[in-house]
Amino acid sequence: MIRRVRSADENRDDEDDWHSGSRSQWRWEFEEDRVIHQRILSRSVRQSFTLIAIEHRRVLDGRMQKFADAMKSISWASVFWTSMPIDNLLSKRPTQLWLSSFGLIFFATTLPSIFVDPAYSGIPQLLRPMIRADTLRFTPLQLRNGSAGEDIHSPGIGSFHLLRDRLPLPDYEARRSNITVEGREMLLRFEDFVNFNGWYVITGSHDPSGDAVSFSLSGRTLREGGTEPHWETVGGSGFESGSMPTLGSANGTAPTRHMPLQRLDRLMFDYSIGIEHWIVRIVGFTCAGVMGVGSGVAGFLHKPQIGRNLFAAALAVFGSILMWSSFNSFAQWGFAEPLTIVLGCLNFIQGLQIFFWQKMTWPLAWITGFIVLVLGLTQPDRVVLGVTVCVFVLTTVFLSFGFYMRRTQIASAWKIFKSDFEMYSNLWEELLKDEASLVSLQSLDTIAQSLKASTGNPSLHRQLQRRRVTEGRGGGSEAADDGDGEDEQLSSNSRAPQSGQAARKGRGALVMLRLFGGLKVRASNATGTQIRTLRDLEQGTLRRRPSVASSHRSTEHLPTSPSHRRDDLIKFMRGGSGRFSEASHQSAWQDIDVLDAKTFGTGFLGYRTVPGEVDDGNPVTSIDQLYIQASALHPLLQHLVIKWASVSSGMFLYRGFSASKDHQGVSSNAGPHNQRSCDTFESWEHAKIRFIDEEFKFTHGVKWAQLKKPGRAFEKVMRKHRGDVSRVLDICRQSITFKTVQDVELCLKAIAADPTVKIVRLKNRMSLEDDARDTGGYRDCLINLRILEENAVALGLDTHVCEVQLILESFAKQKTSDGHKRYVKFRNMKAE
């Protein structure tokens, strides 16, 4: 079918040709094989076009949102080792239920703080913010010098008074009060019941060591609607800023560290429903609970990214509120809790970390719990030790169990794949025993290292868009013929433009593709004026028509026939001296406009692209785009691997029939219905493909690698590439099998010397220094490349990165279906 045709003066063998840098002159015959090739390519493009035509919505991109599809085959413990642990974890039902339940509990426990009865810890209700009392009693419980209980003989303060809305009571009410000392207690009596929502103490003139640091305040209060007053606790030393009891004491009598040492100074306890209460209790805690519920619901609705953002926002909001509360407390009362500041900062940082970068989430959570525990142990007067201990212990147990499960699963995975690993290892050891193979492996590694040095830019190891070029504002008719006066301005995320003849080739080819539907016209000899004309032609299709009056050159008219005008235009673009001139091309616009009116193509874009060049700042974001590109590129890659295999004794997996195969492995004309098929590796000359109908189905022949299944592509994107579809480089792939390492080396040289491809990345897993444990002992040479062949450029496929595997026959024969199933299970356990 496809034969290699040599020139008459070519008399050296293939290996010497590639070593000397000269290339064999190949051409494809324009007969049956050429027709079949074009039909296959046309069919691939037609199927992709039909898909877009009948389905205007996203096909695979919509399925990308269903993280559960990519996570269903791995356990929750392995999810922590994926590239997006929070997103992937939210796809699990237990996580969704846990977050929703936690958010509901958090919301339910903080909501009552809006309606707390003043009899409980002395905090007034939101709807009745004032406490009404006529007598208040100050009782010291512990002094700064350590005295407590019956050892205390004085109140330990100078006096105390009440506040209303953060201000002392008016003079007319203060004058109707008196303070008395009865033993160690101090009483404040009023002639009638007064309303207050705060109080303050004033240090006495005695020695600071005798100051009260733990105390309670009780009052003879009258409830709303009540008839008889009764005594109840309305305050104490353990109330943080007076608005709530500290986390360390339920009755609000924990020792305070904020009693001033300065004499006749004040320590205030404010019960008013201030802005900090609204923000901390109502806005902060309530929103955090709602966001927790929302993240669980978003995961259930297959929107884990939204759920992760809600979860991160809840942590960030909670941390911000804690920090704000601390700063507000310090600004008003001169003190702030270290725990509140540290916990607020850590929660805010972790929220940002989850939002922008999900890695190391759980270790950071453990570090947060550890720091809170340390603060709780060093400051027992302000922290609930039970809560911090529970948080730290639960986090530690959770992470420890996750590490244990992960280790157990890895051990189980290796147990499943152990036989395959040993088999591949034995094959590798036998290969190393052969001196010729060892020398070839070293030579192959040297070639691979040199290619890596030239293709080592990690930013290019992605699926990228074509480099876009926008037009400058300069005139279009004054370009110099030397091609230096180019008025292009690159977009902000593109690289420097090509220079010289290469750039002119790309631009000329691009214009031809747009104007004439992919017709191959070489414009490598075009001058600067011709390039300017091509640019005007391309831009004028949608934006403007060149003015004849602005040109002072030849005004020679074109023939009236559209076909003649088109032929002269092509001749001009090829660099010839046809009758088509810059001044007379306006008369050809009518025909060109008719062509464009029938085609919805690249001319409708607001920019031009440079064929063969990629923009490392503009990656592909649609997996639909990748699969459309790969579908059309599939037959082109097949023909390239055929060419490379033909010069390096490469083989392909071939399906024939055992009863009809001759000594060369070629299938006979026996029918397939009563024959038993068998798979072997054959050279291309022996692998004859038989097409039985117009749909190109075949009963036997080469078993080409198919496009990567979308489900597996989703798994790689979600588990390994943090949702970045541009990192998937093996949707379109093929493999070539070889008997010896020398043939692999020869094929790698052929690929590197092929001008129609550009190597993007190379992984030589047949290197002597490579650790094969990551691949279960399997070894090959993996090449990622872009195809710059004319059809690929015409269809806009020159940016797509495909994959070619160079495999030794001894390794390829061991790739059975059962072995692949074991590898898939091994891969799922590792969450790869």
- Tokens representing residue 647 in the block: 């010069």
For 466, counting Cβ atoms within 10 Å of its Cβ (0-12 exposed, 13-18 middle, 19+ buried), the class is buried
Task: Name the percent of the chain lying above pLDDT 70.
Answer: 64
What is the three-class DSSP state of 619? strand
Give pLDDT, residue 645.
Answer: 93
Q: How many CB atoms lie within 10 A of CB 703?
A: 13
Of 477 and 206, the one with more pLDDT? 206
- pLDDT at position 558: 36
Residue range 694-719: average pLDDT?
Answer: 75
d(CA 783, CA 802): 8
pLDDT tens for 250-275 read: 456 778 878 888 899 988 887 765 55
Residue 776: predicted pLDDT: 77
Q: Which of 77-81, 174-178, 500-504 has the lowest mean pLDDT?
A: 500-504
Among 770, 771, 773, smallest CA distance to 826 is for: 773
Locus of tokens 């157990």:
408
Tell me the CB-side half-sphere exposure of residue 318, using CA atoms within 13 A: 25
Residue at token pair 């085609």: 599
Q: What is the pLDDT confidence band of residue 35, given thresholds at 50, 70 and 90? A: low
pLDDT band at 475 (very low <50, low <70, confident <90, very high): very low
The confidence score (pLDDT) of residue 759 equals 93
Give the confidence band of 500 by pLDDT, cuts at 50, 70, 90.
very low
Whether residue 746 has pLDDT greater than 70: yes
| Res 9: pLDDT | 42
Q: Say if residue 536's pLDDT is above 70.
A: no
Asked if the model's pLDDT at residue 471 lies above 80, the reply is no
Residue 211 confidence (pLDDT) = 94
pLDDT attached to residue 661: 46
Indicate the average pLDDT of the chain.
71
Q: What is the pLDDT of residue 598?
A: 56
Write the burial class of residue 535 (CB in 10 Å: 0-12 exposed, 13-18 middle, 19+ buried).
buried
Q: Are 573 and 535 in contact (CB under 8 A)?
A: no
CB atoms within 10 A of CB 748: 25
Identity of the amino acid at 191: E
- What confidence category does residue 387 fall into, taking pLDDT thresholds of 50, 70 and 90? low
Q: With both helix axes pointing from N to C terminus, report the angle between 361-378 and 385-433 in degrees, rounded to the nearest 10.
A: 140
Is 720 a residue whose pLDDT tops 90? no
Angle formed by the axes of helices 32-54 and 623-646, nearest 10° = 170
Distance CA 12, CA 21 (A): 12
Please give the pLDDT value at position 294. Answer: 84
- Each residue of 560-615: pLDDT tens digit? 444 444 444 334 333 444 443 444 444 443 444 444 445 667 767 777 888 888 88
Tell me the C-alpha distance between 519 and 523, whole Å: 12
**Alpha-carbon span 494 to 585, nearest angstrom:** 32
DSSP 497: P
Give the residue-averaged pLDDT of 487-500: 37
* pLDDT single digits (tens) 112-151: 555 544 333 434 444 446 788 999 999 999 999 989 988 9
Helices then strands, counting H and E runs in the chain, come out as 25, 21
The owner of tokens 């305070």 is 256
Q: Which two tokens stand for residue 134?
A: 């006529």
Per-residue pLDDT, 606: 74
pLDDT score for 379: 62
The pLDDT of residue 185 is above 90: yes
pLDDT at 754: 93
Q: How confident is the model at residue 13 (pLDDT cuts 50, 70, 90)?
A: very low
Taking residues 336-351, report their average pLDDT. Answer: 79
Rounded percentage of the chain residues whose pLDDT exceeds 90: 18
Q: pTM here?
A: 0.64
Looking at residue 505, its pLDDT comes to: 41
Kindly indicate the confidence band of residue 385, based on its pLDDT and cuts at 50, 70 and 90.
low
Q: Which residue has the higher pLDDT, 56 or 766?
A: 766
Average pLDDT of the segment spanning 717-731: 87
Nearest partner of 196 among 179, 219, 226, 178, judged by Cα: 219
Residue 541 has pLDDT above 50, yes or no: no
Q: How many CB atoms lie within 10 A of CB 13?
A: 10
Q: In 522-622, which residue ranges form alpha helices assigned H by DSSP?
A: 528-540, 562-573, 589-597
Query: Taking the chain, what is the end-to-end CA distance rounded to the nearest angstrom?
Result: 41
Q: What is the pLDDT, as a whole number, of residue 717?
A: 86
Q: What pLDDT, on the 0 to 100 scale, is given for residue 785?
A: 94
* Residues 655, 665: Cα–Cα separation, whole Å: 10
Contact between residue 593 and residue 506 where contact means Cβ atoms under 8 Å apart: no
